Chains A and B, each alone.
Chain A
Amino acid sequence: MNLARRPSWGRAVMLTVPLAFLGVFFVYPVLTILGRGLWPGGALDVSPLTEAVGDPGVRAIAWFTVWQALLSTLLTLVVGLPAAYALTRFRLRGASVIRALVVVPFVLPTVVVASAFLALGVGPSLGAMLLAHVFFNYAVVVRTVGGMWAHLDPRDEEAARMLGASRLRAFTSVTLPALRPAIAAAAAIVFLFTFTSFGVVLVLGGPTRSTLETEIYRQTAQLLDLRTAAALSIIQLVAVLALLVVTERLQGRRHVALRLRPARESARAPRTIGERAFIGVNLAIAVVLLGTPIAVLVARAFDTASGVGLDNFRALGTIHASSILFVPPDEAIWNSLSYAAVAAVLALTVGGLAAFAIVRTRRAGALDAALTLPLGVSAVTIGFGFLIALDEPPLDLRTEWMLVPIAQALVAIPFVVRITTPVLRSIDPRLREAAALLGASPRRVWREVDLPIVARALAVAGGFAFAIALGEFGATIFLARPDRPTLPVVIFRLLGQPGATSFGAAMAASTILLVLAAVSVLLVDRARVADVGTF
Chain B
Amino acid sequence: MLAVEHLTVCFGEHRAIDDVDLSVGTGEIVAVLGPSGSGKSTLLRAIAGLEPLADGRIVRDGRDLAGVAPQHRGLGLMFQDHTLFPHRDVLGNVAFGPRMHGATRPDAESRARTMLELVGLAGYEHRSVGEISGGEQQRVALARALAPAPELLMLDEPLGALDRHLRERLVEDLGRLFRELGQSVLVVTHDHDEAFGLADRVAVLHAGRVEQVDAPVELWRRPATEFVARFLGWNVIAADGSARLAVRPDALHLAPAGELSGRVQARTFRRDHWRVQVVLGPDGQTADVVVRDEEPPSLGAHVRLALDPGGTVPLS
Contact = CB atoms under 8 A, between A and B. Distances in A.
Given A433-B50, A433-B70, A440 B85 contact: no
A431 B75 CA distance: 16
Given A438-B96, A439-B100, A428 B83 contact: yes
Interface string A433-474: 111111111001000110011000000000000000000000
B96 A448 contact: yes
A512 to B, nearest CB: 37
Nearest to A430: B83
A2 B83 contact: no
A3 interface: yes
Nearest to B141: A434
Interface string B83-115: 101110000000011001100000000000000
Contacts of A428: 83
B87 A439 contact: no
B100 A440 contact: yes
Max chain B C-beta neighbours (<10 A), residue from A434, A436, A437, A448: A437
Nearest to A434: B83
B148 A453 contact: no
Interface string A418-439: 0000000000101101111111
A306 B149 CA distance: 79
B51 interface: yes
B79 interface: yes
A395 interface: no
Interface in A386-435: 428, 430-431, 433-435
A437 B83 contact: no
B315 to A, nearest CB: 39
Contacts of B79: 430, 433-434
Contact of A439 (B50, B83, B86, B101): B101
A233 B28 CA distance: 72
Contacts of A257: none
A269 to B, nearest CB: 26
Contacts of B70: 3, 433, 436-437
Contact of B69 (A430, A436, A452): A436
Given A2-B50, A2-B52, A453-B87, A434 B77 contact: yes
A452 B92 CA distance: 13
Nearest to B101: A439
B97 A3 contact: no
Contacts of A452: 87
Interface in B40-66: 45, 48-52
Contacts of B75: 437
Given A1-B50, A3-B70, A437 B87 contact: no
A437 B77 CA distance: 7
A453 B86 contact: yes
Max chain B C-beta neighbours (<10 A), residue from A1, A430, A438: A438
A431 B76 contact: no
A444 B100 CA distance: 8
Interface in B162-220: none
Contacts of A431: 83, 85
Interface string A1-18: 111001000000000000
Contacts of A441: 69, 71
B48 A437 contact: yes
Given A448-B96, A449-B85, A438 B48 contact: no
A435 B50 contact: no
A449 B100 CA distance: 12
A440 B71 contact: yes
B308 to A, nearest CB: 47
B187 to A, nearest CB: 15
A437 B247 CA distance: 43
A38 B241 CA distance: 86
A438 B51 contact: no
Contacts of A433: 45, 48, 50, 70, 77, 79, 83
Given A2-B52, A428-B83, A448-B96, A438 B144 contact: yes
B76 A438 contact: yes
Contact of A438 (B45, B49, B86, B148): B148
A3 B50 CA distance: 7
Contact of A1 (B51, B85, B96, B145): B51
A234 to B, nearest CB: 44
A435 B96 contact: yes
Interface in B138-164: 144-145, 147-148
A441 B70 CA distance: 9
Nearest to A448: B96
A197 to B, nearest CB: 40
Interface in B8-57: 45, 48-52
Contacts of A1: 45, 50-51
B71 A436 contact: yes
Nearest to A440: B100
A446 B48 CA distance: 19
A437 B147 CA distance: 12
B147 to A, nearest CB: 8
A3 B144 CA distance: 21
B51 A439 contact: no
Nearest to A439: B100
B38 to A, nearest CB: 20
Max chain A C-beta neighbours (<10 A), residue from B49, B75, B87: B87
Nearest to B81: A430
Contacts of A444: 100
Nearest to A6: B69
Q: Name the 5 nearest CB pairs between A and B, nearest first.
A: A439-B100, A438-B97, A436-B70, A440-B100, A430-B83
Given A438-B96, A438-B97, 6 more contacts: A1-B45, A435-B96, A437-B50, A439-B71, A439-B100, A452-B87
Interface of A: 1-3, 6, 428, 430-431, 433-441, 444, 448-449, 452-453
7 contacts: A2-B49, A2-B52, A433-B79, A437-B76, A437-B77, A439-B148, A453-B87
